[in-house]
Amino acid sequence: MVGAIDDLLVEALFVSHVQPSDAPTAALVHRAITDTIVRFGTDGCAARVAAEFGDHPDIAVSRMAWVRQIVRQSYPSPDHQEH
């Protein structure tokens, strides 16, 4: 998974209900991403991410960093290996 697919996974998890305090498993992350995409669609996820960065940039930056890490852990692939 690369590029647009990675972006979609990250955007969907970003706008999902999942929080760091949930200590999410890969199964929870997969389900949350699927549910969020079904609920909002791909464009809706992107729009909500943009709105959060506009309304709460300080919080959005740290959430995005966390979300990217969780997606890499939940969807292991050669593209997600840390160097």
27-74 tens-digit pLDDT: 999 999 999 999 999 999 999 999 999 999 999 999 999 999 999 999
What pLDDT is attached to residue 24? 96
d(CA 78, CA 14): 22
Q: In the structure, what pLDDT confidence band is assigned to residue 2 with cuts at 50, 70 and 90?
A: low
Cβ contact 8:2 at 8 Å: no
**What are the Cα distances from residue 60, in Å, to 39, 78, 81, 83?**
21, 27, 24, 25
Quote the DSSP letter at residue 16: S
pTM given for the model: 0.86
What pLDDT is attached to residue 83? 43
